[in-house]
């Protein structure tokens, strides 16, 4: 796609795709490329929940906080993850392995409560099941080292 046609949102998306987040320098680069002020780019980058301005953990957990998940106690999943990983919404674990983001709805309402890790959805969660899933990922990572 021709960049002159890409909007600031698209450029930020491409940047995040590339780096996993939006590094500070990229804000200035995009501003220059689009001929707009860095303040404006910053405004766009901080408006949308998708964009991150700091580096996320290796595994991105999107925890659904949609209505169906709420009714089926998504908050207990959030609590379980907090217990297991010690992190909440928007936080990254100390070992840099996990970042949790609460999202409005993953659209898998019939399987609520749901979370998505690195694009893979896990449904019908219980607190124990959620803990087990992240534990497995962590164990895999430990083996890899």
Partner 1 sequence: MNEKIVALEIDGVKIEAHEGATILEAASSAGIDIPNLCFLKGMSPYGACGVCVVEAEGSPKLLRACATPVREGMVINTKSERALKARKLAFELMMGDHDADCLGPCVLECPAHTQCQKYVKEIAEGRFADATATVMDTYPLPASIGRVCPHPCETACRRGKVESPISIAFLKAFAADTARKMGVFAPAGVIAESSCAGKKISIIGGGPAGLTAAYQLRRRGSEVTVYDQMPKMGGMLRYGIPEYRLPKAVLDEEISLISSMGVKLVNNFKIGKDAALSALRKECDALIVANGAWKSSSMGIPGEEAEGVFGGIDYLREQKRLAGRVAIVGGGNTAMDACRTAVRLGAEEVYVVYRRTRAEMPAEEIEIKEAEEEGVKFCFLRNPTEVIVEDGRVTGLSLQVMKLGQPDEKGRLRPVPVEGQVEKLPLEYVIMAIGQKNDSEGFESLKTTSRGTIATDSSMRASVAEDDGNSAPVFACGDAVNRGASIAIKAIAGANDAVDAVEAYFSGKDIPERIGTVSARESTRIDFSQYEKMPRQTPAVRDAEERKHDFSPVASIFTEEQAILEAKRCLECGCHDYSECKLIRYAKMLKTDCTRFRGEFHPGENERHLVAIERNQRKCIACNLCVRVCEEKAKKGLLGLVGRGFTTVIKPEFNNSEAIAGCAECNMCTLACPTGALRLLK
Partner 2 sequence: MLKIVVGMGSCGIAAGAQRVKEALDSLSDDVGITGCVGACYLEPIVDLYDGKELKKRLVRVTPEDAPKIVSASSTGDFKSVEELVISDEDASFLTSQTRIALRNCGVIDPESLESYRSVGGYKALEKVFTLSPEDVISEVKTSSLAGRGGAGFPTWFKWNAARAAKGEKKYLICNADEGDPGAFMDRAVIESDPHSLIEGMLIAAYAIGASEAFVYVRAEYPLAIVRLQKAIRDAEAAGLLGENILGSGFSCSLRIKAGAGAFVCGEETSLIESLEGNRGMPRLKPPFPAERGYKNSPSNINNVETFANVAWIILNGGKAFAALGTENSKGTKVFALTGKIRRGGLVEIPMGLTLREVIFGIGGGVRGSAKFKAVQLGGPSGGCIPESLLDTRIDYRELAATGAIMGSGGMVVMDDTTCMVNMAKFFLEFTAKESCGKCVHCRIGTKRLHETLTRITEGKGKEGDVEMLEELCRGIKDGALCGLGQTAPNPVLTTIRYFRDEYEAHIKEKKCPAGECVSLRKFAILPDKCKRCSACARKCPAGAISGSAKEPYVIDEVKCIGCGVCEKTCRFGAVVRK
Binding segment for partner 1 among 9-17, 32-40, 108-116, 132-140 (CB under 8 A)? Answer: 32-40
Token reading at 114: 């749901």
Selected range binding partner 1 among 11-19, 36-44, 62-70, 125-133, rule: CB under 8 A: 36-44
**Of the candidates 69, 77, 56, the residue with the CA atom closest to the CA atom of residue 130:** 77
How far separated are the first and last CA of the chain, in Å rounded?
A: 38
Q: Where are the beta strands (DSSP E) in 51-123?
A: 59-64, 98-103, 115-117, 120-122
Q: Does 90 bind partner 1 (CB under 8 A)?
A: no
111 belongs to the binding site for partner 2 (CB under 8 A): yes
Question: CB under 8 Å, gap of 24 or more: what pairs does 132-139 form?
Answer: 134/59, 134/61, 134/81, 134/84, 134/85, 134/98, 135/84, 137/59, 137/97, 137/98, 138/97
Looking at beta carbons only, is 10 or 142 nearer to partner 2?
10
Q: Does 48 bind partner 2 (CB under 8 A)?
A: yes
Neighbours of 125 (CB within 10 A): 26
Asked if 38 is part of the footprint of partner 1 (rule: CB under 8 A), the reply reads yes
In the DSSP assignment, the letter for residue 118 is T
Q: Does 4 bind partner 2 (CB under 8 A)?
A: no
131 binds partner 1 (CB under 8 A): no
Nearer to partner 1, 32 or 94 (CB): 32
Residues that bind partner 2 (CB under 8 A): 6-13, 34, 43-44, 47-51, 62, 64-72, 103-112, 114, 119-124
Residues that bind partner 1 (CB under 8 A): 24, 27, 36-43, 46-47, 49
């Amino acid at each position: 796609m021709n960049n002159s046609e890409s909007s600031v949102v698209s450029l930020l998306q491409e940047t995040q795709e590339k780096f996993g987040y939006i590094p500070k320098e990229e804000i200035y680069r995009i501003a220059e490329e689009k001929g707009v002020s860095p303040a404006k780019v910053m405004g766009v980058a901080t408006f949308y929940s998708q964009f991150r301005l700091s580096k996320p953990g290796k595994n991105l957990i999107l925890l659904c906080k949609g209505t169906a998940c709420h009714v089926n106690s998504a908050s207990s999943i959030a609590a379980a993850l907090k217990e297991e990983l010690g992190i909440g919404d928007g936080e990254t674990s100390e070992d840099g392995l996990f970042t949790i983001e609460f999202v409005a709805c993953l659209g898998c309402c019939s399987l609520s409560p749901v979370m998505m890790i690195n694009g893979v959805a896990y449904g019908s969660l219980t607190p124990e099941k959620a803990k087990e899933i992240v534990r497995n990922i962590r164990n895999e990572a430990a083996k890899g080292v």
